[in-house]
Amino acid sequence: MNSKKSTIILVLAVMLLAVPAFAGKVSKMDKLSMTCGTTSATSINIMACAGPNTGAPAGFSLQWVSADQFALGPDGLPGTLDDGTWPDSSSLSLCKASFSGNANGSAYNLGRNACTTVQAGDNLFDDPGASSNCASIPLECSTDYVFRSFAHANSTLFRSDFSANLTCRTSECIVVDGCTFTQGYWKTHGPMPTGNNTNEWPVTELTLGNVSYTDLQLQSIFDTPAQGNGLISLAHQLIAAKLNIANGANDSSVAAAVAAADALIGNLVIPPVGSGSLAPSATSSLTATLTSFNEGSLGPGHC
């Protein structure tokens, strides 16, 4: 064997010896940091920031539970393991949301030290890139919630450790005649109610734009995630606003937004009843105003 071949073989042998037995993930994503943002009676905004070394390119997960439930401990039963630790992952009291950095239209691919704001509440249902076991469940007013998060793993790094716990509080309850409910409430208290709920809708049809829909068609719209279609997310809040108004809520603060939403929708037929579509940029302002009315930060207040 000549010296050149011997040298090549020696180099290859050294390279093979230098490769660790486990050549996959060798470290973790940085922990996330979180701060409380704006709140309503039914939702809390959380600002999540990625770490300085790895960021969170695959997105992150957020978990939350009421402070009262958190105090019960992992078994969720009073008087047993009341040690202030998180409920088991399978507990029905634990809300979990995943914000994918890889989903189409997602804003959750976070670079180093990058931050984003997400909302815990029933608007998660229409958030591109988000999935949650509590996507249609509004938070309770005047209630403390405990949050934690972790950055997702990718092909080279393990998921991060959990962040420090963060406690945030929803806005105070406002009990008045003609108060409002969120889209999540109306969705789960409609002609096809969820669980033990009953149908609380004050009408059996509504007009959105220039098109009339039966209550079952409206329910099907509620049950369809927006997935980046601004028409659907606008329709969810418009249906909720019109149900609130029909239920006795004063509409003086939102009448102009309702009229503008109807004008923008026009003859479009909302999925899944039809195939209409609008860009989120064309609907986001009206959707935000209607959401504020339904959540109680605008108008008579949330029930």
Least confident of 44-48, 63-67, 78-82, 220-224: 78-82
67: helix, strand or coil: helix
The CA distances from residue 58 to 55, 239, 286, in Å, are: 9, 34, 31
Rounded to whole angstroms, how far apart are CA atoms 274 and 201? 23
Which residues have C-beta within 8 Å of that of residue 269, sequence separation ≥ 6?
211, 275, 276
The H or E element that residue 206 is part of is strand 205-208
Cβ distance 138 to 184 under 8 Å? Answer: yes
Q: What is the rounded average pLDDT of the residues 192-204?
A: 94
Rounded to whole angstroms, how far apart are CA atoms 230 and 222? 14
Please give the mean pLDDT across all residues of the chain.
87
**Angular region, 105: left φ>0, alpha ψ -120 to 50, beta rest:** left
Report pLDDT for 74: 66
Report pLDDT for 77: 53
The 10 Å Cβ neighbour count of residue 209 is 21
Least confident of 73-87, 111-125, 133-147, 175-189: 73-87
Q: What is the pLDDT of residues 159-190, one digit of tens each?
A: 999 999 999 999 988 777 789 999 999 999 99
Which residues have C-beta within 8 Å of that of residue 169, sequence separation ≥ 6?
39, 44, 142, 143, 144, 145
Least confident of 73-77, 192-196, 213-217, 266-270: 73-77
Q: What is the rounded average pLDDT of the residues 58-71?
A: 93
Report pLDDT for 14: 42
Q: How confident is the model at residue 69 (pLDDT cuts 50, 70, 90)?
A: confident
- 284: pLDDT strictly greater than 90: yes
What b-and-e string marks burial along 222-242, b requiring 16 or more CB atoms within 10 Å of the CB? bebbbebbbbbbbbbbbbbbb
Q: What is the rounded average pLDDT of the residues 94-109?
A: 84
Report pLDDT for 174: 75
pTM score of the predicted model: 0.73
- 78: pLDDT strictly greater than 60: no
DSSP secondary structure code for residue 28 in this structure? B
Q: What is the rounded average pLDDT of the residues 23-44?
A: 86
- 33: pLDDT strictly greater than 90: yes
